[in-house]
Amino acid sequence: MKNIIVLGAQWGDEGKGKVVDIYTEFADIVARATGGNNAGHTLVVRGEKYIFHLIPSGILHRGKKCVITNGVVVDPKVLLSEIDKLKSRDYLKDDDQLRVSSLAHIILPYHIALDRVREEKLGNRKIGTTARGIGPCYEDKVARTGIRACDLVDPDILAEKLRDNLELKNFLLKNYYGAEEIDFPSTLSEHLSYGERLKPYLIDTSLFLNEEINRGAKVLFEGAQGTHLDIDHGTYPFVTSSNTTAGGLCTGSGVAPTKIGGVIGVAKAYITRVGSGPFPTELFDDEGQKIRDRGCEYGSTTGRPRRCGWFDAPVVRYANRVNALNGIALTKLDVLSGLPRVKVCVAYEVGGVRREEVPLTLSEFEGARPVYEEMEGWKEELSDAREFGDLPKTTQRYVRRLEELTGVEISMISIGAERNQTIIRKNPFRA
């Protein structure tokens, strides 16, 4: 049974898009199950760059099906624009290639407005969200007042649900935040027209995936965000509003854990974070800027500069604990070339005491000082390497040390954004 989950082992932007694109060759179906268009997954194929926010990163492989399951929150305007862009680049010729859950919750304009005004009100205590309405949409889902994709194709139900929701949201927007209200008639007609366009893609995705799996199809589940942005297991409240960890992909897709054959965690050879929250190994010096420049560390969704720091082994060990990783796809190793030495955080010091694990509380994590191990760097560019043995000995030592410190085998190494700049040491679909 080869259904594989690929998810982020750090704070997002680890390179999941590229890894999913590589593994799609060995799968039949690629499914997103969590998050929304807060995600930005970048693929570089033969010099052409593609950024996907909602559509699974397998879509450039013609003939492979891509599925957006009901754990995803869908902004229909963003999804339709992604569909249009793909078609204009000669992909997604057959609409059947993309399936969307009828039960996926819909991001509406009031979710986006509330996300923005809430962040403004928080001032310097803000979460640093992507301002895409993700949190407010998941809140409505949990409150059982959300609007789902199937509602967009039923004018009476949509009108009723939208009217009810707007009564409260507009009260909040106007009276609590002093912001502009959202107009009912234009929002209704806009979303009915989105419904018309999305209708051909809507299905029962849990039924589809389970039937395909029972027929022998291989499914690749594409995580969004990262383990430490998980609503339960991340650095709360500086997290996203969904379960980004392995269990979340099962819940979000309606495919049971017993049908999953493996979990691959994607981790950068260093670490980045966008938005606020603890980050013990963050660099504020020239070395941090060098990594940001060489790694082009600017957000794929919001363009914000990403905070950069040294590889944090306890962070990835934690990802292994909650996801039981079968392997790590280590990305952006090429970015570290030219640094005279590289550091790895092996543990923390919290209140003068050495701690091997990520602290449980936010205040402890904020006060954690990294304990570093320094290693010799390497000057050589790595992007032409195709096998582990092609890497300089110092780089090989670095990779092996990360394996020891995380307790997980590094099964793939990425040494450039392009598809072919990849070393596959073990293929989870064949293992």
Residues marked as catalytic = 13, 41
Look at residue 135 and give the partner it binds from ligand GDP, ligand IMO, Mg ion, none, a contact being a CB closer than 5 to 8 Å depending on partner kind: ligand IMO
CB of 417 to ligand GDP, least distance (A): 3
Distance CA 237, CA 162 (A): 29
Taking CB atoms, the residue at the shortest distance from ligand IMO is: 275
| 335 near ligand GDP (CB under 6 A) | yes
Strands 341-350 vs 369-376: parallel, antiparallel or unpaired: antiparallel
Binding mask 355-394 for ligand GDP (x = CB under 6 A): ----------------------------------------
Q: Among 15, 35, 58, 254, which residue interacts with ligand GDP (rule: CB under 6 A)?
A: 15
CB of 12 to ligand IMO, least distance (A): 3
Distance CA 337, CA 68 (A): 37
Q: Which of residues 296-325 bind Mg ion (CB under 5 A)?
A: 300
| C-alpha dist (Å) from residue 144 to 35, 138, 161, 165, 243 | 18, 10, 11, 11, 18
Distance CA 316, CA 311 (A): 9
Binding mask 41-80 for ligand GDP (x = CB under 6 A): xx-x------------------------------------
Alpha-carbon Rg for the chain, nearest whole angstrom, is 22
Q: Among 66, 86, 147, 224, which residue interacts with ligand IMO (rule: CB under 6 A)?
A: 224
| 72 near ligand IMO (CB under 6 A) | no
Distance CA 395, CA 387 (A): 12
149-157, 235-243, 276-284, 294-302 -> range binding ligand GDP (CB under 6 A): 294-302
Distance CA 231, CA 406 (A): 23
| 82 near ligand IMO (CB under 6 A) | no
Non-local (6+) Cβ contacts of 195 within 8 A are: 76, 149, 151, 152, 153, 158
Binding mask 111-130 for ligand IMO (x = CB under 6 A): ----------------xxxx
For Cα atoms 321, 324, 329, give the angle at the middle one, nearest 5 degrees.
105
Of 124 and 258, the one with the shorter C-beta distance to ligand IMO is 124
Which residue type, as a one-letter code, is found at position 228? H
Look at residue 44 and give the partner it binds from ligand GDP, ligand IMO, Mg ion, none, a contact being a CB closer than 5 to 8 Å depending on partner kind: ligand GDP
| 13 near ligand IMO (CB under 6 A) | yes
CB 66 within 8 A of CB 109: no
DSSP 8-state symbol, 418: B
Residues found near ligand GDP in the complex (CB under 6 A): 8, 12-18, 39-42, 44, 295-296, 300, 331-332, 334-335, 414-417
Residues found near ligand IMO in the complex (CB under 6 A): 8, 12-13, 38-41, 127-130, 132, 134-135, 224-226, 229, 238, 240-241, 274-275
